[in-house]
Amino acid sequence: MVYDLYKFVDRTGTNSIKWEFMKMFDPEVAEGTIPMWVADMDFPCAGPILKALHQRVERRIFGYSTYRTAEYFRAVCGWYQHRFNWYVNSADIVYSPGVVPALAYLLDILTKPGEGVIIQRPVYAPFSDVIKSRGRTIVNNALINRSGYYEMDFADLEKKAADPNVKVMLFCSPHNPVGRVWKEGELRRLGQICLRNNLIIISDEIHYDLVRRGTKHIPLVTLFPDRKKRIITATAPSKTFNMAGMHLSNIIIHDAGIRQKWRKYVSGQLRITTPDPLSIVATQAAYYLGEDWLEEVIAYLDANLLFLETFLKKHLPKANYTPLEGTYLAWIDFSAYGYTQDELKKIFREAKVLVEEGTIFGDEGAGFVRINVACPLDILKEALERIVGAITLYSSGKGA
């Protein structure tokens, strides 16, 4: 192995939200808690990224910088082409400091207060938050849980997309937290329904590189080349290369009119124009030279997830875990143990393992937890052993 993914990197003193500021998420978190919550990997960045950053620091000046260079677009667009056979014109790319801010900007541009936005719960919590913060209406096309394997409810989507007050769909692909990588037939059916009803689809594809071996992510827009002006795709190197602290996302808007509105509102009114100089060179290095590192990370994640599946079957057989197709965020159903949501929260606190409760992602997540497995295997093993111990202790106390 070229990269020491199995070695723990001490993040003390780095202002790490995941490790040092857990109390921001849960004020009652105990000392010594293992953080398995926020989507932030505990693997060191790829060597080429670190080298590029060192070289840029040696230039000693960090003035206003722009990403709109041929080198930057060759890196970004070349990655899309190489990984997904997806041609993107550089003129269609706009900068955002993150995918979630981009969702807010786009809802401001594309919708009016009170208008409906479709999401598919249980889904990444900021989808709901950003819709509510913009004064828009959440329209929930809930996923169907078939014993842990999730499917889309197309009949329900047909009804909700036909509502004239519904203007946009926020689509999560690969899906966070349920871990689905949508198949071509599913993507085509969703796109056909939304486009037939003249909705704009904003497709959050930030986890697009993090899929299991043998699984293929298909960018939604590639299936509808004649309707691409109605599909906006949000991408970023942050999840792929563990660069979340470098706030740079590439938002692909094919409609010139929407891009003009973006520039007038985001660049003009909000004055959000360019990323910082370090994130620019880090992104270029990642997309030019980071693929070997990524392939090792994917292999390591596959092994961690296999360990998780085997461990649960042996030590927590009532826990229902369906192997992930994408992301590194395991979605585990503990509802068969019969705990209330408060009991489940208490058990994980006593285990000193910080996870995200399923209800954060919608009521459909009751009984679930989301666990981040992008860490050295020893940490994952320790966290799981703590969980088993806490559940055993709690169940014996209840007389189970």
- 135's torsion region: left (phi>0), alpha (psi -120 to 50) or beta? left
Q: What is the dihedral of CA 291, 12, 374, 104, to 10 degrees?
A: -80
pLDDT in tens, 132-179: 999 999 999 999 999 999 999 999 999 999 999 999 999 999 999 999
- The number of CA neighbours under 13 Å toward the Cβ of 228 is 17
Give the sign of the dihedral formed by CA 102, CA 105, CA 109, CA 115: positive
Is the pLDDT assigned to residue 299 strictly greater than 50?
yes
- φ, ψ of residue 177 to 5 degrees: the values are -105, 0
C-alpha of 268 from chain center: 28
- The number of CA neighbours under 13 Å toward the Cβ of 94 is 25
- φ, ψ of residue 231 to 5 degrees: the values are -125, 125
Is the pLDDT assigned to residue 400 strictly greater than 50?
no
Instruction: Give the closest residue to 304 by CA, choosing from 240, 376, 368.
Output: 376
Instruction: Give the closest residue to 177 by CA, choosing from 359, 335, 381.
Output: 359
Fold classification of 49-289 (topology level): Aspartate Aminotransferase; domain 2 (3.40.640)
Give the sign of the dihedral formed by CA 159, CA 101, CA 130, CA 124: positive
Percent share of the chain, pLDDT over 90: 97
| DSSP designation for 390 | H
Measured CA angle at 326 (ends 325, 332), to 5 deg: 75
Identity of residue 174: P
Q: Please provide the DSSP assignment of 81-126 as one string.
A: HHHH-----GGGEEEES-HHHHHHHHHHHH--TT-EEEE-SS--HH
Residue 160: predicted pLDDT: 98
Residue 355: predicted pLDDT: 98
Residues in the chain: 400
**Where in the chain are the domains?**
17-45+291-397, 49-289
Cα–Cα distance list, 37 to 9, 175, 275, 345 (Å): 17, 17, 27, 13
Is the pLDDT assigned to residue 251 strictly greater than 60?
yes
Is the pLDDT assigned to residue 3 strictly greater than 90?
no
Q: What average pLDDT does the segment 342-358 reach? A: 96
Is the pLDDT assigned to residue 399 strictly greater than 60?
no
Q: What average pLDDT does the segment 301-307 reach? A: 98
Instruction: Give the closest residue to 332 by CA, choosing from 21, 26, 20, 36.
Output: 36
Is the pLDDT assigned to residue 75 strictly greater than 90?
yes
Instruction: Give the closest residue to 169 by CA, choosing from 249, 110, 122.
Output: 110
Q: What is the dihedral of CA 369, 132, 237, 211, to 10 degrees?
A: 40
pLDDT in tens, 176-195: 999 999 999 999 999 999 99
Assign 34 to helix, strand or coil.
Answer: strand
Is the pLDDT assigned to residue 256 strictly greater than 70?
yes
Percent share of the chain, pLDDT over 70: 99
pLDDT in tens, 28-38: 999 999 999 99
17-45+291-397 to CATH, choices 3.40.50.300, 3.20.20.410, 3.40.50.2000, 3.90.1150.10: 3.90.1150.10
Residue found under tokens 């996870």: 355
pLDDT in tens, 46-55: 999 999 999 9
pLDDT in tens, 78-118: 999 999 999 999 999 999 999 999 999 999 999 999 999 99
CB atoms within 10 A of CB 119: 22
Is the pLDDT assigned to residue 1 strictly greater than 60?
no
Cα–Cα distance list, 28 to 60, 125, 340 (Å): 42, 21, 18
pLDDT in tens, 196-247: 999 999 999 999 999 999 999 999 999 999 999 999 999 999 999 999 999 9
Residue 187: predicted pLDDT: 98
Token duo for residue 272: 């959000």
Token duo for residue 184: 């071509």
* Whether residue 237 has a cis bond before it, omega within 30° of 0: no
Is the pLDDT assigned to residue 326 strictly greater than 60?
yes
Average pLDDT, the chain: 96
Residue 398: predicted pLDDT: 64
Is the pLDDT assigned to residue 77 strictly greater than 70?
yes
Q: What average pLDDT does the segment 251-272 reach? A: 97
3-state DSSP of 39-65: CCCCCCCCHHHHHHHHHHHCCCCCCCC
